[in-house]
């Protein structure tokens, strides 16, 4: 029938691993970077998370929907800004599907996938995370960082500086083979994350190419 039923445990499910990490580390605020129109925050609420959510999204159209969700929630804050390695503006390469828009340009892989072709570019406001963390997070909170920045993860982490130590957990996409120009592959990101004090908890495949080769994973990491 095309379905698989398996045990919901941290070893078998990234969602279960996330829930276990939230409980064990007492997570009470999630910084959701690259929130688009609020899909991740909505998923957290549906999974039972009731703590604060702080979402960053620079694309105006997606931000409008994100802000609507946040205002209706009451414990959810939305900011129209991108994360980068400097304060000012970034040029965002837009695609038909705004979820795949990135500061980096897409390479030829999956160029024919609907919504992934380049459409335009625009300037968006940007901030370093090390500055934003002090403004958006409260001193006593136990924080979790989620990145969905389409290949720009390394630069965003560089912009977090020492503030990255504020986070008990980290969730991001990792590419086995680059999908964007200048995107670091999995083999570079894993040592970088270890150097910054994060070890893997769960890795879940999310994208294969037409030949069945693994291209991208969701990664969940805990601070050591």
- Per residue in 29-76, pLDDT (tens digit) is 999 999 999 999 999 999 999 999 999 999 999 999 999 999 999 999
pLDDT at 115: 67
Residue 133 lies in a domain: yes
- Structural domain harbouring 97: 14-223
Residue 5 lies in a domain: no
Residue 8 pLDDT > 90: yes
- CATH classification at residue 198: 3.40.50.150
The band of 112, judged by pLDDT with boundaries at 50, 70 and 90, is low
The band of 15, judged by pLDDT with boundaries at 50, 70 and 90, is very high
Residue 95 lies in a domain: yes
Residue 4 lies in a domain: no
Residue 2 lies in a domain: no
Residue 7 lies in a domain: no
Give 77-90 pLDDT, tens digit per residue. 999 999 999 999 98
The band of 120, judged by pLDDT with boundaries at 50, 70 and 90, is confident
pLDDT at 106: 79
Residue 203 lies in a domain: yes
Which residues have CB under 8 Å from 209's CB, separation 6+? 109, 110, 215
Q: What is the count of structural domains for the chain?
A: 1
Residue 186 pLDDT > 70: yes
pTM value is 0.93
Residue 105 lies in a domain: yes
Q: Which of 34-43, 102-111, 166-175 has the lowest mean pLDDT?
A: 102-111
């Amino acid at each position: 029938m095309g379905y698989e039923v398996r045990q919901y445990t941290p070893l078998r499910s990234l969602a279960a691993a996330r829930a276990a990490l939230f409980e064990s580390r007492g997570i009470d605020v999630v910084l959701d970077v690259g929130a688009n129109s609020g899909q991740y925050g909505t998923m957290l609420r549906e999974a039972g998370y009731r703590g604060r959510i702080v979402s960053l999204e620079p694309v105006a159209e997606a931000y409008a929907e994100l802000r609507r969700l946040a205002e209706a929630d009451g414990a959810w804050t939305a900011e129209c800004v991108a994360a980068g390695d400097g304060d000012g503006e970034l040029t965002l390469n837009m695609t038909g599907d705004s979820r795949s828009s990135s500061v980096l340009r897409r390479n030829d892989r999956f160029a024919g996938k609907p919504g992934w072709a380049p459409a335009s570019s625009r300037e968006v406001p940007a901030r370093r995370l090390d500055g934003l963390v002090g403004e958006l997070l409260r001193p006593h909170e136990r924080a979790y960082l989620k990145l969905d920045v389409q290949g720009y993860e390394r630069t965003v982490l560089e912009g977090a500086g020492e503030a990255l130590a504020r986070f008990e957990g980290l969730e991001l996409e990792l590419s086995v083979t680059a999908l964007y120009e200048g995107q670091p592959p999995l083999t570079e990101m894993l040592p970088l994350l270890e150097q910054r004090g994060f070890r893997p908890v769960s890795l879940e495949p999310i994208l294969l190419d037409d030949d069945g080769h693994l291209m991208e994973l969701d990664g969940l990491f805990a601070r050591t």
